[in-house]
Structure 1
Amino acid sequence: MMERDNTSATQLTLVPIAQALQGPGEHCSTQMTQIAQWSHAYLCNPHPELGRSGAVCPWTPAAIKRETFWLVDIAFAEREQAAICADLLSLISRFKGNAPQQGNASQFKTIVAVLHGLDDPAQVNHYHELLKPQFLAAGLMLGEFYSHCPKPGLRSDTFNPLRSPVPLLVVREMVELDIAFLADQPQFVEAYLRTHGARAKVGINSVLHQEDRLTLSDAQWQVLRRIVNS
């Protein structure tokens, strides 16, 4: 896990998706508008290769409807890693501080960080792997999107849902079913168990009941079975 340093974060402005859809302007880049449009056109709609009905991302339509979907530019050009990490980690407190802060509605909050000036997919993966443990420790998921992201979907190993026209890191609340994304590393499983406590096994059992429809590895299924039987 990356240690925190004293580097100050930039004063970032979270832009509601409704504002970003109106076009570039103050605090809203061309790339942010592009991703706002892509979110509506791609994330909010079905896809023939998804392997299930419904939107590609079931959280996105609900987040947009509740006006809890924000975009933010994270500048990469000519900046040190420590400064970039400070900006990205500041999204934890911004996410937690934005309403709603309690209840089921909080799971629909989403912050999409547009990685402005970053063109190297390896760097997207680098920052994702570097910072993911701190987001998980805060009870949040951090997802990586870029043009050729190879990660398959949960219900189709031939569909790659995390592909976007601009590199992104996406923050949302960790929900019980997210154990399906976290069973590959012990530290991720531990973060999940800490976050959900007594409810954790409910989420794990729900995933296990879908074993014939999900594309987890044998090792991941073994991890889930071991937890529910412990």
Structure 2
Amino acid sequence: MERDNNPAAPLTLVPIAQALQGSGADCSEQMVEIARWCTSYLCNPHPELGRSGAVCPWSPPAIKRETFWLVDVALAGRDDEAIAAQLSGLIDTFKQRAPHSGSATQFKTIVCVLHGLDDPARVNHYHALLKPRFLAAGLMLGEFYSHCPKPGLRSDHFNPLRSPVPLLVVREMVELDIAFLSDQPQFVEAYLRTHGARAHIGINSVLHQEDRLSLSNEQWEVLRRIANR
């Protein structure tokens, strides 16, 4: 399948229902594979997860609401500036997609299927490059690849961000995401700007789960310090 390497070219979002069927010129084999992985892995419990429910609690309702999309992104032969410009365009794309307000916005999801990475861990480079831009827009950007070492929130022995194909995943930042953002001051500030007065609700909720969540001592100290402001 030919892909446009023009950095200004908008990326084509494919509803997961279409990707599961493998229909249309915009569905690559990897996209179909990841669509199936999303339904079989993200949408189901896992014995090592450390809690009940789906691995990704946002995925099942997002798919049910038809607000779950995939997109193929070609990286080979392109410089970082072009790649970053194209992927950053997903910020506006995400916000332009319905719903635009209310609690239902938290279930919008875009899964970027990354092509042309010689080393799957290279996704960390693009994640670090782009994450501040997405956080500034009130969005989360997650990285997935075959040997991603990040542990789960409730189990140091489970690595939930492992996927058969390198991915970047976009969703709305919710109040409980402070648990994922407390390791960098700039991420904390982005969280506080996004949620304003309601930020303390998420922070206190995470603090009340201290005996169940696997955060570092430094992260817990950050959360306590913010809660006591």
Q: TM-score, normalised by structure 2?
A: 0.96
Separation in 2, partners of 1:77, 1:10: 16
Structure 1 residue ranges (4+ consecutive) displaced by more than 4 angstroms after TM superposition = none
SS in 1 for 2:92: helix
Name structure 1 gaps, 5 residues minimum: 1-6
Deviations 1:26-71 (A, max 9, x none): 1110000000000000000000000000000000001000000000
Q: Name which of structure 1's ranges 216-225 and 114-123 shifts more when overlaid on structure 2.
A: 114-123
Q: Which amino acid aligns with 1:140?
A: L
SS in 2 for 1:21: helix
SS in 2 for 1:198: helix
Q: Which amino acid aligns with 1:86?
A: A
Deviations 1:112-157 (A, max 9, x none): 0000122313320000001100000000000000000000000000
Tell me the equivalent position of 1:33: 32
Deviations 1:67-112 (A, max 9, x none): 0000001101111211111111011000010000100000000000
Q: Please state if 1:140 is matched with 2:139.
A: yes
Name structure 2 gaps, 5 residues minimum: 1-5
Separation in 2, partners of 1:119, 1:112: 20
Q: Please state if 1:172 is matched with 2:184.
A: no
**CA offset at residue 175 of structure 1?**
0.0
Separation in 2, partners of 1:103, 1:83: 33
Separation in 1, partners of 2:91, 2:154: 29
Separation in 1, partners of 2:11, 2:219: 37
Separation in 2, partners of 1:119, 1:170: 20
Q: Which amino acid aligns with 2:149?
A: P
Tell me the equivalent position of 2:202: 203
Q: Which amino acid aligns with 1:158?
A: H
Tell me the equivalent position of 2:41: 42
Given that 1:24 and 1:30 are in contact with CA atoms closer than 8 Å, whether structure 2 keeps it comes out as: no
Q: Please state if 1:224 is matched with 2:218.
A: no
Q: Please state if 1:128 is matched with 2:127.
A: yes
What is the aligned-residue RMSD (CA, Å)?
1.0
Tell me the equivalent position of 1:212: 211
Given that 2:121 and 2:145 are in contact with CA atoms closer than 8 Å, whether structure 1 keeps it comes out as: no
Separation in 2, partners of 1:83, 1:8: 5
Separation in 1, partners of 2:188, 2:66: 31
Separation in 1, partners of 2:181, 2:36: 29
SS in 2 for 1:143: strand
**CA offset at residue 15 of structure 1?**
0.1
Matched-pair identity in %: 79
**CA offset at residue 8 of structure 1?**
4.2
Deviations 1:188-225 (A, max 9, x none): 00000000000000000000000000000000000000
Separation in 2, partners of 1:158, 1:121: 21
**How many residues are aligned here?**
224
